[in-house]
Structure 1
Amino acid sequence: MPINNITGMFEIRKSVFTLLFLLTGIPALAQDKGTWNNKQCAVVLTYDDALDIDLDNVIPALDSLKLKGTFYLIGSSPVINKRLGEWRTAAMHGHELGNHSLFHPCSGGPTRSWITPENDLSKYTVARAVNEIRQNNTLLKAIDGKNLRTFAFPCGDLTIGGENFYTALKPDFAGARGVSPGLQTATDVDLDNIKCYAINGQTADYMINLVKQAQQSHTLLVFLFHGVGGGHNLNVSLADHSKLIHYLKANEKEIWIAPMVDVATRISALQASKGSAK
C-alpha cells in the first residue's frame, strides 16, 4: 500500500478516536457542571458560634461582594440577644442562619477541660439534645421566618451513649455539617455529616488552593471559620479571609458560592434522582 494511503488511513482513525473522546467526554463535563448550578464546583462559607466578629467583620465583607454565607448560631449566645436585629437583617440579605444547638454541648474529656458539667454532651440524653436543638430552630425561625436550614455538630460530636442523636432530627434539616475534611462529589456527600475544612491560621494561598482543587475535581468544598480577624482562639486573619473571598468573587462564573441550605437541598434532589434511576 502506498505511503500516502497509510498516512491517510491513520489520520482518519485518529479523527474517529478524537471524535469518540469528545462525544463521551462532553456529557460527563456537562453533568459535572450541571451538578453545581452549571458551574465547576460549589463552595460554602460557614461561620460558627454567633460571634460579634461575624456581624462586625464577616457579613459586611461578604455583603460588599454580594456573596452569601452560613452562620451557625448558638441560641444562648449573648450576641443573639444583643444584636438580634442585625442577624435578622443578615438573613434578609440572603445569609443562612444555621442551627449550632442551644447551648453548644460537647462530650467532655481530659483534653476538653473547658466543657462545663451542664454542657457535657456525654451526660445528656438523646431526647434532651433533640429537644434543645428543636428549641433553637424555633428561635431561629422567630428571627428569620424560615422553616428550612442546616445543622452543625458542636465540636463534631455525633453520638450520645453510642447513639447518633441526629437520626431523630433528619426531618428537621436539609443537612448537617461535621468537622472532618474532604472534597466530595454530590453523589458521595453524606448529608448527615457533611465534610469541611476547619480554618485556624492557614493562609489565603492554602485556602485558594483548596478552591482550585475543587474546581479541577468538580466537588463540594466547605470552609469552617470561627474568628475572622479575632474574636475567637480559632482564627484566620482578616487579610487572608479577604483574599479568599475576593478570589471567589473574581471566579464566580465558575464557582457556585452559596449557603449550605441551598447546596444541601440541591445535593438531596440529585441523590434522590440518581437513586430512583437505579
Structure 2
Amino acid sequence: MKFPTLSLAASLLISSAALAQTTPAATPWNNKQCAVVLTYDDAIDVDLDNVVPALDSVKLRGTFYLIGSSPVVTKRLPEWRAAAKRGHELGNHALFHPCDGSRPGREFVQPDHDLHTYTVGRAVDEIRANNTLLSAIDGKTARTFAYPCGDLQIGGVKFYDQLKNDFVAARGITSGMQTAAQVDLSNVDAYFINGQDGQYLIDLVKQAQQSHTLLVFLFHGVGGGHSLNVALPAHRQLLRYLKAHEKEIWVAPMVEVAQRIKDEKADVVGKK
C-alpha cells in the first residue's frame, strides 16, 4: 500500500508538536525557559549604593533581605522605600539576624542573638515584628523570608512552621536548581556567591535555561561592603546577560516567583 507523502509544512507542524510534548513546560516561569531570582542579604550600604542603581539601569528587579535592626535601614529608610516603589522586594531577614552560635565557625555570633538560646516563640515574635517594620516602609503584606545563616531549627524544631501563613516562601542556602513542582517553598535553594567570576554566574543561568528550573542567587557584598563579596564587574556581567536574554529568562523578585509556584502547585492539587 502506498502512503501519501506529507508536505513540508505538515511535517514541521508534527515535529513542533512532538517537541512541545518532550520539552519541559516553561509555563510556571512566565512562559519563559527558566526563572532567575537575585537576592541580596543583610541590608548593607552597597545594596543602595551599588546594587539598586545597577538593577535599575537595566530595568531588572531584585529581593533585598533586610535585618530590621540594621543602621542602614534606620539611616536610609527613604531610599529603601523608593527602591520598593520601583518594584524591588524588601524581604525579611529577621529583626536581629540570630544565628546558631553552637555550630562550628560561629564565633561571630553575639550571646544576645544566639539562636541556640532562643525559644521558638521569641524567634517567631522577632520575625513578625520585622514584618511590621517592613510593611511600614513599603506598605506591602506579601513578602518572603530568608533564614539567617541558613539555620532552620531551634532545639530540633523548625520555627518557620509557625510562620508559613506570614510569608509566601522562605529562602535557604542550599545550592540547587529545581522545577516548580520540586521547589520546597519552606526552604528554597539558592547559590551562595562569594568571589566567583562573571562567567561562573552566567554558566549557572545557562544551566537553568537548559533544565527549565529556578535559579536563585544569594549575594552579600557587591563591590565590597561585606566579607562575602562578588566583584562589581562580575555582577555587571551577569546583569548584562540577563538583560540580553530577557525574552528567554524570567527575572523577578522572590515573592513573585514563589507566588507563581504556589499557585501552580495549588492548581495541580485542584485538578486531582
Q: TM-score, normalised by structure 2?
A: 0.94
Superposed CA offset, 1:46-76 (max 9, x none): 0000000000000000001110000000000
Percent identity (aligned): 63
The residue correspondences of 1:120-139 to structure 2 (distance < 5 A) are 120-139=114-133
Map 1:16-35 to 2 at 5 A: 22-27=16-21, 29=23, 32-35=25-28
Name the residue aligned to 1:271: 265
Please tell me the residue identity of whatever aligns with 1:218: H
Tell me the equivalent position of 1:48.
Answer: 41
> What root-mean-square deviation, in Å, do the aligned CA atoms of Structure 1 and Structure 2 show?
2.0
The letter of the residue matching 2:76 is R
Q: How does 1:4-83 map to 2 (within 5 A)?
A: 22-27=16-21, 29=23, 32-83=25-76
Q: Does residue 102 of structure 1 match 2:91?
A: no
Q: Which residue matches 1:219?
A: 213
Partner of 1:91: 84
Matches within 5 A, 1:104-253: 104-109=97-102, 110-253=104-247
Per the normalisation by structure 1, the TM-score is 0.92
1:262 aligns with 2:256: yes
Distance, in Å, in 1 between the alignment partners of 2:264 and 2:168 is 13
CA distance, structure 2, for counterparts of residue 196 and residue 180 of structure 1:
6
- 1:276 CA displacement: 1.9
| CA shift for structure 1 position 23 | 2.9
Report the CA distance between 1:27 and its aligned residue: 4.3
Distance 2:247 2:45 in 1: 31
Aligned-residue offset at 1:277 = 1.7
Q: Larger C-alpha radius of gyration, 1 or 2?
A: 1
Distance in 2 (CA, whole Å) between partners of 1:23 and 1:232 is: 50
Q: List gaps (5 residues or longer) in structure 2.
A: none
Instruction: Please state whether the residue corresponding to 1:75 is helix, strand or coil.
Output: coil
- Once the two structures are superposed, residues 66-94 of structure 1 have per-residue CA deviations (whole angstroms, 9 ceiling, x without a partner) of 10000000000000000000000000000
> Deviation per CA, 1:81-128, whole angstroms, max 9, x where unpaired?
000000000000000000000000000134110001111101000000
Offset of residue 28 of structure 1: 5.1
Query: Quick one: distance in 2 between partners of 1:217 and 1:45?
Result: 18
CA shift at 1:33, angstroms? 2.2
What is the DSSP-based 3-state SS (H/G/I as helix, E as strand, rest coil) of the residue aligned with 1:231? coil
Residues in 2 aligned to 1:100 and 1:59: alpha-carbon distance in whole angstroms: 18
Deviation (angstroms), 1:35: 1.5
Question: Structure 1 stretches of 5 or more lacking a match?
Answer: none
